[in-house]
């Protein structure tokens, strides 16, 4: 997973990994969630990937738009 480069240390996201149609997000508490095109929608996944690469806004986006729309929780 790539380290999430957020400017704010208050972010809940610490790392991410993108796939063709998904994004895995690791949170500060160690939990890892997989969001997919099927579970969250292609537009949401595209936006999450963009925010992850920018290093800003991913935690807020998840909380406001896709919080419970994950396919799998790994930890």
pLDDT in tens, the chain (75 residues): 999 987 667 789 999 999 999 999 999 999 999 999 999 999 999 999 999 999 999 999 999 999 999 999 998
Nearby residues of 9 by Cβ (< 8 Å), 6 or more positions away: none
Per-residue model confidence (pLDDT) at position 68? 96
Q: How far is residue 18's CA from residue 37's CA, in Å, rounded to a whole number?
A: 12
Q: Name the 3-class secondary structure at 3.
A: strand
pTM, full prediction: 0.93
């Amino acid at each position: 997973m790539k380290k999430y480069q957020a400017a704010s240390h208050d972010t809940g996201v610490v790392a991410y990994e993108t796939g063709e149609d998904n994004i895995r997000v690791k949170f500060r508490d160690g939990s890892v969630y997989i969001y997919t095109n099927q579970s969250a929608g292609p537009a949401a996944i595209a936006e999450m990937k963009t925010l992850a690469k920018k290093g800003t806004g991913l935690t807020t986006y998840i909380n406001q738009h896709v919080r419970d729309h994950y396919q799998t929780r790994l930890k």
